[in-house]
Structure 1
Amino acid sequence: MLFSSELKQASQPIIEDIYQDPFIQGMLKGDLPKDVIKYYLRADASYLKEFANIYALLIPKMQELEDVQFLVEQIQFIVDGEVEAHEILADFVNEPYNEIIKEKVWPPSGDHYIKHMYFNAYAKENAAYTIAAMAPCPYVYQVIAKQALQDELLNNDALLKEWFVFYSTEMDELVRVFDNLMDKLTQNCTNQEKNEIKDCFLQSTVHERNFFNMSVNEEVWSYGGDNNE
């Protein structure tokens, strides 16, 4: 089995939990509360900005020009293409996307996820660690979207269906390239290194679950004492 396939297989129980959690189920039924969607959009706008920065950190680790070119294109996709998915959610909320994200949020779960990716980008020379931290993001969206479009519970009349339609295809190329890079970059890794990379991948998959759940809970920092906000 290819190492990339092994990582995906190991992540399936977590992805199934994500699918059954309130965020995706609300998207599926077309009744996810609008405040939850706005919180998600604000958090995801912050996340994607850092995701683009981590692509930039990954570029110097690439040995082949073709891989560099692809990563540059992915930065552009985050700037332009993925906004299309956000616009679908903004249309459902019936507010302009740029107005929604004027209010910034930086919740604990998002902070932990972003720092997990930065750590692997800075602390690990082998780019496989960085890719393992990043790859669950497109993979989770791809798997969930494809599953949702086959789900008899999907509300086909709801605008939110278009969010699943978008991610059911738009992540395919990125997942394929990440898989190829993962398999190539781990060819000479020791078993211990592969286990570390696998843990990194699974941790990011858990972070994906936490990200959706923090949006449902509209998570805030709790500092204790007299101030619990």
Structure 2
Amino acid sequence: MHYDIRYKPAFAAIFITLSPGESITAEAGAMTSMDGRLTMKTRFSGGFLPGLLKKFFGGESLFVNTFMNQTQQPLTLVLTQSTIGDIACEELRGRELCFEPGAYIAHAGQTHLGVKWAGFKSWFAREGLFKLQVKGTGLVFFGAYGGITKHRVNGEFVVDTGHLVAYEPTIKMNLGLAGGLVGSITSGEGVINRLTGNGYIYLQSRSVDGLVKYLTPKFR
């Protein structure tokens, strides 16, 4: 499989060439165009029960689409995301990644799509009770609102809520105030994610919640 992420960083899209016999699984609605000879099958995301958990408690789609090349010629497929921003690809090689709601786009290879309990701390941060988890050996594509930064955490790291895109399961999330009660309110920072552990995280440069807060007063 060959891929090329074009129109970075603001309007990124994934241009994929599937060789005969190859396939890729993508979030429902991610396809923008494809060769008419590709075969598409729709199924529950990770299975029936995991799909329901991701839909109602994780903010993800209930279904995923698998695109297969059953011909003898290379065929093309274009995938994208609903938000304006960058797209990244990681080769797992036995690693695991957990994704915030809406970040996952597609995966290929010997990878497994499932759910991971995120805890009530994640729910209080309005990021869902469950996180989408991808593990195995293969490629995973994910997107962000704005640019994407990969950062290695070794100890403790503070992230404003709404800016975390993906993280390795060795990273633990703890909610807290940016400062004291008064300082957190007057500074505008409020609740933050205090991440601890050793592993990689992926951050987005913009926050959808921040955009909503900015636009809401203008529609009153």
TM-score higher than 0.5: no
Give the TM-score normalised by the residue count of structure 1.
Answer: 0.25
Give the TM-score normalised by the residue count of structure 2.
Answer: 0.26
Which has the higher relative contact order, 1 or 2, with Cα contacts under 8 A spaced 6 or more apart? 1
Structure richer in strand, relative to its length: 2
